[in-house]
Amino acid sequence: MRTQSESRGEPSPLLELSAVSKSFGGVVAIENVDFQLYAGEIHGLVGENGAGKSTSMKIIAGVHSDYEGQMYVQGQPVHFKSAREALAAGIGMVHQELSTCPDLTVAENVFLGQQPLNRFGTIDWAFINHEAKRLIASLGLDIDPTATMGALPVGIQQLVELSRVLFSGARIIILDEPTSALSPPEVKRLFDVLRKIKADGRGIIFISHFLDDVLEISDTITVFRNGHKVATDPTASLTKDDMISNMIGRGSIGMHMGESADLKGDDAKPIVFEAEAISDGKQLRDVSLKLRAGEITGVYGFMGCGQIELARAAFGKIHLHKGRFMLDGQEISFRSTAAAKRHGMAFVPENRSMMLFRTEPIYKNVSIAILDRIHRLLLKPGTERSITKTHIDDLQIKTQGTDMDLGSLSGGNQQKVALAKWLTHLPRVLILSEPTRGMDVGAKEDVIRIVKGLRDRGVAILVLSSEPETILTLADRVTVLRKGVVAKEFNSGTIHKADLLSAA
Ligand SMILES: Nc1ncnc2c1ncn2[C@@H]1O[C@H](COP(=O)(O)OP(=O)(O)OP(=O)(O)O)[C@@H](O)[C@H]1O
Ligand SMILES: [Mg+2]
């Protein structure tokens, strides 16, 4: 059988989709998508949240087997019924949501489903651990292969998951938002590995909302909008503005988020929450920080700089070696997140899956924050739904309704749900870890609007992020953390992206 490309006299692609469509319960997710990936190509894929990127890739990777249209691998028609079948055909995918097994070790995760046996026919642990360490080291990471996955920071888990697919020998590699939790040096090492894989004649599909990354690493870029493929062009012929206007279907929106910021720290505002010379004996050393009512304090730093530990320590999840936390001038030490919540402290962690229930309807995910206050029996589903409906409209969450399972939302839209929970019941202190991670330009704007709205209603907000744009767009003051130490504080005046990057 001749594929479409062959009948046009072009070289046969490694992978081809021809007129592929997929609906979920009558709602179209992608329609009539044509797509080609060639050997030795890195193909960037961009589009707003909900545009259909992940859905298309899950069809290729065998996750969705119920679709229309035709797919070819090296010219042969295929229709995978499972991810296992796709893997056997040389297709590996790193999913947008971490799909590692938290209870297994790092090495077990790297070799998941393909553990090598020794000559006695049993699993060769010594070999597995040694190999896992070596493979991960090529991504520049020095970690113990016997460590339990779930205990590691999300960024590290992301790198382990990447190693699993990159070194699986797959000829077609799909990376869905692989860099969202990585620091610039880690991204650079990942790109070095990708270039080697490409030189081997394999093909890579690279999905990202970081348009600069896509421009840097890809040879070809495809843009999705509203379930349709709208353009495929050689990267060399594109600018960032071209990509953005293709993504949103109109001229450039002129919002280049946060290249610089005018800080407005106001010492007259009351201090609500304070960290005094916090040390945890490992990641954090003498970290001090003040959160004021009606202000957003940004903490910027590369992954692993200690931000995550700082947030966890504030909620009593990490034992303090030295220092203390103060709330309204009183020393506090919480034993649980629930106890912190009772004192008006809210936390939206970087790993949204930790606090969302993917198989529950959206309205239940939203109302969970108020259920502590209002007894479940008193809160009628009708009320939950109507509260949720308001938030869906306000946050422009793209969904068919409040009763849809959370897992049916695109990645970016799930993140908005995580935030919506706190709008119903205003916290005094809100700690947000990577609030805009994995979101497209439009969704970021929505989140920024919401967070600033909460600030203007008097909430003391801490935003922890390794995206300088997010910090510059949101923060009234910025603290830069470097390797667990406060490297610099900016309280007023104009600061630029370069100031953050050079301080970190
Ligand atoms: N399992 C599912 N059930 C119902 N609808 C779904 C499901 N998966 C995806 N969709 C819908 O299909 C559309 C495309 O979603 P998809 O996840 O492919 O978007 P995306 O481009 O990857 O977005 P993001 O950048 O936010 O990850 C969305 O409207 C989404 O709600
Ligand atoms: Mg997606």
Q: Where are the alpha helices (DSSP H) in 270-323?
A: 307-314
**Counting beta carbons within 10 angstroms of the beta carbon of residue 177, is it exposed (0 to 12), middle (13 to 18) or buried (19 or more)?**
buried
Q: Where are the domains of the chain?
A: 40-62+81-248, 261-344+430-504, 352-426
* pLDDT at residue 270 in the model: 96
Regarding the beta carbon of 180 and ligand 1, being less than 6 Å apart is answered no
Average pLDDT of 354-363? 69
CA–CA distance, 41 with 449 (Å, rounded to integer): 38
Instruction: Please state, rounded to an integer, the average pLDDT across all residues of the chain.
Output: 85
Instruction: Give the atom of ligand 1 at the shortest distance from the alpha carbon of 443.
Output: 26
For residue 48, which ligand has an atom nearest its CA?
Answer: 1
CA of 207 to the centre of ligand 2 (A): 8
Regarding the beta carbon of 398 and ligand 1, being less than 6 Å apart is answered yes
Average pLDDT of 425-443? 84
Q: Which residue has the tokens 């510059």?
A: 472
CA–CA distance, 54 with 219 (Å, rounded to integer): 20
Instruction: Give the atom of ligand 1 at the shortest distance from the alpha carbon of 410.
Output: 17
Topology (CATH) of 40-62+81-248 = Rossmann fold (3.40.50)
Regarding the beta carbon of 444 and ligand 1, being less than 6 Å apart is answered no
CA of 49 to the centre of ligand 2 (A): 7
Average pLDDT of 236-243? 90
Regarding the beta carbon of 52 and ligand 1, being less than 6 Å apart is answered yes
Q: Same CATH topology for 40-62+81-248 and 261-344+430-504?
A: yes
Residue nearest (by alpha carbon) to ligand 1 atom 1:
408
* pLDDT at residue 328 in the model: 94
Confidence category of residue 251, pLDDT binned at 50, 70, 90 = very low
For residue 51, which ligand has an atom nearest its CA?
Answer: 1
Residue nearest (by alpha carbon) to ligand 1 atom 31:
409
Which CATH code is given to the segment(s) 261-344+430-504?
A: 3.40.50.300
Confidence category of residue 152, pLDDT binned at 50, 70, 90 = confident
Write the pLDDT tens digit of every residue in 284-316.
999 999 999 999 999 998 767 888 889 989 988
For residue 410, which ligand has an atom nearest its CA?
Answer: 1
491: left (phi over 0), alpha (psi -120 to 50) or beta: alpha
Confidence category of residue 411, pLDDT binned at 50, 70, 90 = confident
* pLDDT at residue 373 in the model: 47
* pLDDT over 90, % of the chain: 41
Confidence category of residue 374, pLDDT binned at 50, 70, 90 = very low
Show the tokens assigned to 76: 């042969």
Res 477 pLDDT > 90: yes
Show the tokens assigned to 288: 């001090």
Q: Are 208 and 441 in contact (CB under 8 A)?
A: no
Report the predicted TM-score, pTM, of the whole model to 2 decimal places.
Answer: 0.69
500: phi then psi, degrees, rounded to nearest 5: -70, -50
Residue nearest (by alpha carbon) to ligand 1 atom 3:
408
For residue 225, which ligand has an atom nearest its CA?
Answer: 1
User: Which one is predicted more confidently, 419 or 486?
Assistant: 486
SS3 181: coil
CA of 404 to the centre of ligand 1 (A): 12
Residue 185 makes CB contacts below 8 A (sequence gap 6+) with 140, 302
Write the pLDDT tens digit of every residue in 8-67.
556 789 999 999 999 988 788 999 999 999 999 999 999 887 889 999 999 999 999 999
CA of 413 to the centre of ligand 1 (A): 9
Write the pLDDT tens digit of every residue in 254-272.
444 567 899 999 999 999 9
* pLDDT at residue 439 in the model: 75
Q: Are 474 and 436 in contact (CB under 8 A)?
A: no
Q: Among 24, 33, 205, 224, which residue has the most ligand 1 atoms within 8 Å of its CB, making it the best to mutate? A: 24
Show the tokens assigned to 182: 């990585």
Regarding the beta carbon of 54 and ligand 1, being less than 6 Å apart is answered yes
Write the pLDDT tens digit of every residue in 98-122.
777 888 889 888 887 666 666 677 7
Average pLDDT of 317-328? 92
Q: How far is CA 452 from CA 14, 155, 253, 294, 423, in A?
A: 47, 27, 20, 9, 12
Specify the range with the lowest mean pLDDT, choosing from 54-68, 102-116, 354-368, 395-409. 354-368
User: How many of the other CB atoms lie within 10 Å of CB of 268?
Assistant: 5
Q: Which residue has the tokens 């004192």?
A: 343
CA–CA distance, 475 with 43 (Å, rounded to integer): 35
Res 78 pLDDT > 90: yes
